[in-house]
Amino acid sequence: MKKHNLLIAGGGTGGHIAPALAVGLCAEKYFDVSYACTPRPVDRAMYRAANGTVHVMNPPRIDRGMKLLLPFSASGALFRAGRLLRKNRISAVLGTGGYSSYFAVVAARFLGIPAALLETNAKAGKSNRLASRFCREAYTGFKEGATGLHCRAVHTGTPVSRAFRKMDKDVARRELGVPADRPVILFLGGSQGASGINDLALGLSNEFTVLLQCGSSDFQRTKQLSAGKSNIVVEPFINDLSPWYSAAELAVARAGGQTIAELSVFQLPAVLIPFPFAAEDHQTANAAVVERVGAAVLRQQEGFSSDMLSVLLLQLISQSTRMNEMRRAMAGLFPENSAGRITDHLKELLQ
């Protein structure tokens, strides 16, 4: 039987791309999968792993007010998206966030093609709130993500790559070449890195081993500042973080929806420090949900020092009962097999 053609549109950040790839890998058993993304470097890097065809779109931003969307650029982007759907005989569209996602979903609506979207945050972003008006249904990572959407919402959880594999902690530490007798703290600033997170890692007490994914834009500075420190491993970006997640006692991370989903897979308790300038402060909303269930501690970046973080980490690590409770809470954040759940719903859209 000939497969239907599924377009998964999402780009601009790892939080849009990672779930697109996770769903695409699961869905390729039932669909011929292709992707639509932006020209940004993170898109080029992450979509190299895609099995399907990748189409690059460069539509205007829609998060700076509709007045800035000149009619010509908006209509041009919509026309190009529609041409892409027609040329590739797309049967269904899934938007995972970003500007390429928005225009692909709107074009699908005008062409009578069923479309859905994925919202991985506890507070739906502007792009997805607008796009939801043109969708048949939405899939949410957090239950709270349904608020503000204008279509049927289904709580599926956030898809995570099947490439992630939980390893024995000692095996992971040997693979990374880090000591087995010292607490290991994983620092993550998201796919782009985060200088605020990097600075906290650089100033952390020598009592810890630090694994720091710092982002390519801040790599040179971070590498120079970490020179001579034997307790810190610094990399700009890691495609497979499985050994890093597995080796760690705790994570210190931004609070993007995808990062939290990955922490959940590895049952890794966290100190979440939301990016203070995230759109509509959605990362704080994410972190608040995770803290409320007992899986993480929320701290704001302003005024929070490496010394304060060291004290907090030592307090948490010394409380074995609390750490076990945090691990269980983190593991239970999302439904299992999110990518499979979304794939099943996409199949139903075409029935």
* SS (HEC) of the chain: CCCEEEEEEECCCHHHHHHHHHHHHHHCCCEEEEEEECCCHHHHHHHHHCCCEEEECCCCCCCCCHHHCCHHHHHHHHHHHHHHHHHCCCCEEEEEECHHHHHHHHHHHHHCCCEEEEECCCCCCHHHHHHHHHCCEEEECCHHHHCCCCCEEEECCCCCCCCCCCCCHHHHHHHHCCCCCCCEEEEECCCCCCHHHHHHHHCCCCCCEEEEECCHHHHHHHHHHHCCCCCEEEECCCCCCHHHHHHCCEEEECCCHHHHHHHHHCCCCEEECCCCCCHHHHHHHHHHHHHHCCCEEECCCCCCCHHHHHHHHHHHHCCHHHHHHHHHHHHCCCCCCHHHHHHHHHHHHCC
* CATH number of the domain located at residue range(s) 4-158+335-349 in this protein: 3.40.50.2000
Q: 39-43, 95-99, 230-234, 275-279 — which one is most confidently predicted on average? A: 230-234
Q: Which of these, 337, 158, 155, lies nearest to 260 by C-alpha position?
A: 158
What pLDDT does residue 76 have?
84
For the domain made up of 169-331, give the CATH fold: Rossmann fold (3.40.50)
The confidence band for 64, taking pLDDT boundaries of 50, 70 and 90, is low
The reply to whether domains 4-158+335-349 and 169-331 share a CATH topology is yes
Would you list the domain boundaries of the chain? 4-158+335-349, 169-331
**Which of these ranges, 213-227, 260-274, 330-344, has the smallest mean pLDDT?**
213-227
Q: What is the mean pLDDT of the chain?
A: 92
Question: What is residue 228's predicted lDDT score, i.e. its pLDDT?
Answer: 85
pTM of the predicted model, to two decimals? 0.92
Per-residue pLDDT at 247: 97
- pLDDT surpassing 80 at residue 192: no
